[in-house]
Amino acid sequence: MEVLIEAGAGTDSYYSDEAYVNAGAKIVDRETAIKQANIIAMVQNPGEETLAQLHAQQVIIGLLNPLVVTDEMSKLAQQNVSVLSFELLPRTISRAQTMDVLSSQASVAGYKAALIGSNTYPKYFPMMITAAGTVKPAKVLVLGTGVAGLQAIGTAKRLGAVVSGYDVRPASRGEVESLGATFLTTSVDNGAGAGGYARELTAEEQQKQQEELAGFIAQNDVVITTAQVPGHKPPLLVTKTSIQAAKPATVFIDLAASELGGNVAGSKPFETVTTDQQVMIIGAGDLASRVPNSASQLFAKNVQAIINYIVSEDQLNFDLTDDVLKELVATHDGEIINPRLRKTMG
Ligand code: NAD
């Protein structure tokens, strides 16, 4: 294959144009890339204007938000563009794991969350026994122990904190304990939904959970939250009351913070809020991009795995009876393929 790279595409993640040229790629401007490429890989949805320039038979791969931008998906189907979107990947199928951008980026984000916690918290993370006295280790609580949460636990443990984790899926207990952390439970412990994800809790369950979590939160110094429920807004786990009861210097890092809300009351995407009681709430939905070089390296491997999957003998080959492709593909040959997307679009 011939590889075209948009000039400067890697600069912010420390990959130079020169390095791509040395690896055999050709540097072009964006317009040329869009016009000439058969397969176009991108990180996020580039927006209507760019998508409108695509032409029939082109394939695009990225985090394209198809279940939300359904109008764009219909237009792309009409343009006869094939759309492969990472959010649609069936993540539990083993052969799809090398393509799983949600996991690779969540793992980077969880790692960075623990580092930001240790960097922001004004005390040591590990226990320190020194001639000038002993310092107790920090206590870190991770709410939501999926991919990001487990990586945050592992990293906080390596930094010497005393770590506990909590999730509504009982299956995550073993994973949390295997990292040497304590698994906490509330009376809401049956929250597993379909496909290994959590289900949305009822209003009554949510209230119970929030009240019971308040006790754990008050005992911890750094609270990292990662809870998500596919297709719903992130659940509120830390209420205003819990924040008011938190010790001064407590740091909350909300990986779920977005325009839709977050896990922590009052968290704002990409902002740090400090309360009158000196509690910090960090809105951190963008943490993978704060480790840009490694995040890009892993993202690129995921893209490469997809390209290897859809190209055989130099030809694009969409086998839409394949269990991975019939989910991953949003549009192909003028049709909407992914069943969830089809359902959403009615
Ligand atoms: P996610 O980003 O959807 O959610 C993060 C975590 O928040 C999950 O563990 C979820 O259970 C938890 N959560 C949701 N609502 C909650 C609430 N009200 N209270 C507490 N916790 C709550 O999840 P993810 O990281 O994408 O992983 C989801 C599942 O998929 C996990 O079981 C993970 O191990 C599994 N997974 C499997 C594979 C694979 O088999 N290859 C790959 C990726 C993920």
- What whole-number distance in Å separates Cα of residue 273 and Cα of residue 122? 16
Asked whether residue 297 is domain-assigned, the answer is yes
pLDDT tens-digit series, residues 270-328: 999 999 999 999 999 999 999 999 999 999 999 999 999 999 988 999 999 999 999 99
Range of the domain at 334: 4-98+292-345
Question: Is 146's C-beta closer than 6 angstroms to any atom of ligand 1?
Answer: yes
**DSSP track, 253-303:** EETT-BTTB-SBTT--TT-EEE-TTS-EEEE-TTGGGGSHHHHHHHHHHHH
- Whether 121 shows a pLDDT value over 90: the answer reads yes
Provide the residue type at 106 as one letter. A
Sorted by sequence, the CB contacts under 8 Å of residue 179 that are 6+ apart come out as: 150, 153, 154, 157, 163
CA of 333 to the centre of ligand 1 (A): 33
Asked whether residue 86 is domain-assigned, the answer is yes
Do 264 and 231 have their domain in common?
Answer: yes
% of the chain surpassing 70 pLDDT: 100
Closest CA to 285 of 318, 314, 260: 260
Which DSSP helix (H) or strand (E) runs through 315? Answer: strand 315-316
- What whole-number distance in Å separates Cα of residue 175 and Cα of residue 47? 38
pLDDT for the residue numbered 111: 98
Map tokens 């790279």 to a residue: 5
Average pLDDT over residues 156-174: 97
Do 66 and 122 have their domain in common?
Answer: no
Do 257 and 320 have their domain in common?
Answer: no
* ipTM of the shown complex: 0.96
pLDDT tens-digit series, residues 189-220: 899 998 889 999 999 999 999 999 999 999 99
Asked whether residue 105 is domain-assigned, the answer is no
Phi, psi of 61 (to 5 degrees): -130, 130
Do 195 and 273 have their domain in common?
Answer: yes
Which residue's CA is the nearest one to ligand 1's atom 32? 196
pLDDT for the residue numbered 189: 85
Q: Is 312 a catalytic residue?
A: no
- What whole-number distance in Å separates Cα of residue 241 and Cα of residue 299? 39
Query: Which residue among the candidates 91, 111, 118, 167 is catalytic per the annotation?
Result: 91
Asked whether residue 9 is domain-assigned, the answer is yes
Which value, in Å, is the radius of gyration of the alpha carbons in the chain? Answer: 22
Sorted by sequence, the CB contacts under 8 Å of residue 36 that are 6+ apart come out as: 4, 28
Do 88 and 114 have their domain in common?
Answer: no
Asked whether residue 276 is domain-assigned, the answer is yes
pLDDT for the residue numbered 196: 85
Query: Which residue among the candidates 97, 206, 289, 297 is catalytic per the annotation?
Result: 97
Q: Which of 290, 306, 334 is the last residue of a domain?
A: 290
- What whole-number distance in Å separates Cα of residue 315 and Cα of residue 317? 6
Which residue's CA is the nearest one to ligand 1's atom 1? 228
pLDDT for the residue numbered 271: 96
CA of 251 to the centre of ligand 1 (A): 23
pLDDT for the residue numbered 346: 86
Average pLDDT over residues 10-22: 98
Asked whether residue 166 is domain-assigned, the answer is yes
Q: Is 30 a catalytic residue?
A: no
Q: How far is CA 203 from CA 143, 209, 232, 248, in A?
A: 18, 10, 14, 30
pLDDT for the residue numbered 72: 96
Query: Which residue among the candidates 85, 100, 104, 111 is catalytic per the annotation?
Result: 100
Contact between residue 183 and residue 172 where contact means Cβ atoms under 8 Å apart: yes
Question: Is 197's C-beta closer than 6 angstroms to any atom of ligand 1?
Answer: yes
Three-state secondary-structure class, residue 333: coil
Alpha carbon of residue 209 to chain centroid: 24
Question: Is 295's C-beta closer than 6 angstroms to any atom of ligand 1?
Answer: no
Sorted by sequence, the CB contacts under 8 Å of residue 71 that are 6+ apart come out as: none
pLDDT tens-digit series, residues 36-78: 999 999 999 999 999 999 999 999 999 999 999 999 999 999 9
Which residue's CA is the nearest one to ligand 1's atom 35? 196
Do 276 and 183 have their domain in common?
Answer: yes
Map tokens 């992130």 to a residue: 234
Do 52 and 180 have their domain in common?
Answer: no
pTM: 0.95
Q: Which of 290, 305, 330 is the last residue of a domain?
A: 290
Do 134 and 281 have their domain in common?
Answer: yes
Which residue's CA is the nearest one to ligand 1's atom 16? 227
Question: Is 139's C-beta closer than 6 angstroms to any atom of ligand 1?
Answer: no
Do 269 and 198 have their domain in common?
Answer: yes
Do 157 and 274 have their domain in common?
Answer: yes
- What whole-number distance in Å separates Cα of residue 75 and Cα of residue 81? 9
- Whether 230 shows a pLDDT value over 90: the answer reads no
Asked whether residue 242 is domain-assigned, the answer is yes
Average pLDDT over residues 260-277: 96
Domain count, the chain: 2
Question: Is 228's C-beta closer than 6 angstroms to any atom of ligand 1?
Answer: yes
- Mean confidence (pLDDT) of the chain: 96
Do 154 and 208 have their domain in common?
Answer: yes
Q: Is 97 a catalytic residue?
A: yes
Number of residues in the chain: 346
CATH number of the CATH domain containing 62: 3.40.50.720
- 141 DSSP 8-state letter: E
Q: How far is CA 250 from CA 48, 189, 255, in A?
A: 42, 26, 16
Contact between residue 257 and residue 283 where contact means Cβ atoms under 8 Å apart: yes
Q: Which of 290, 319, 334 is the last residue of a domain?
A: 290
Do 164 and 53 have their domain in common?
Answer: no
Closest CA to 120 of 285, 288, 280: 280
Asked whether residue 26 is domain-assigned, the answer is yes
pLDDT for the residue numbered 314: 87
pLDDT for the residue numbered 336: 98
